[in-house]
Structure 1
Amino acid sequence: MAAAAALVAALWVGCVEVDGGAVELSWTLRDFSGDPIREEDCGGDIRCVCEATRIGWIRLHWQIEGEGTGERAADGFWDFVCEDNRGATNFSVPPGRQLLWIAPICSDGSLPDSGYEAPPPILRVVDLGAVATLDALLIAVDECTCPGGGAACAGATSAPVGGPAFGAEVRYSR
């Protein structure tokens, strides 16, 4: 009896709350031509690139397929620290067919005030207690994507304000 109680106690300590599935992804930031950002200064160091572009987080959005108005109105989101370069949510993404997409969030917590490019929404089946993988995703940004770019960004044009409808051009700002 004591052995059974010890086994239950050991298993209880290792439990993880599972309310849905998890999503795992990694990302890289590049300029709009696909080249490394500030290669001469950063040498590919993601921390340096995130600081240079003033991007603090990468936000993963999800929306149940077939819901919403066709605009990018998320049912939920999860923020990852930009310099981590990868991450996984906890098991809280609702099970089912989910449209998943990412967007940069500026270090000051604001949405980018200039354009960026990110992949269009990706459809994945999220299963209860399982991990859905998005693999590596490329986000195109520049030093004017977030506020604080200085004189070099004065007069920079931004992409259209507001997210596009699904399947539309993916270069946008909010």
Structure 2
Amino acid sequence: MILEQLKYPVGKFVKPESITTELIDSAISEIENFPKLVKAEIQNLDEQDLQLRYRPGGWTISQVVHHCADSHINSYVRFKLALTENIPTIKPYEESLWADLQDKQLSPFVSLKLLEALHERWVYILKSLSEEDLSKEFIHPEQSEKISLTENILIYSWHCRHHLAHIRQAKELRF
């Protein structure tokens, strides 16, 4: 397998040309189901298995789960900022540095519990968004572009699939 396939087992995010209500509903369902799917993948793994990597030099399964908690917290905050402020500029974070902080030593089940509660709140908000809400935007300073809440829902649906594939790949390829 080439490195690009190992990094992006579901491919890179591509914004659809046409975004329908059905597509948004499907993306929200993927976000809603993500914690259950992660739990199903990791619940029977021992400590050694949790240290498997999805590619050489990549994160361990534990780090992937912790990263998802960090990333999804940031996304949740970005949604709330966009809903309550006029096109706010969000603060990016150094995800690779966050993934290497001391809390990586915690069990990934700590982050799984966080994901379960966070996704319950996040999905509650996502399901209540009006058309007007979905068009609200924030500015991501790294790309210097506006990102709508609609697009961010699709990005995080992809993010869920992306990292779930990493966990499955680590279990299968055993790096």
Give the TM-score, by structure 1 length.
Answer: 0.25
Higher fraction of strand: 1
Question: Larger Rg: 1 or 2?
Answer: 1
Q: Which has the higher helix share?
A: 2
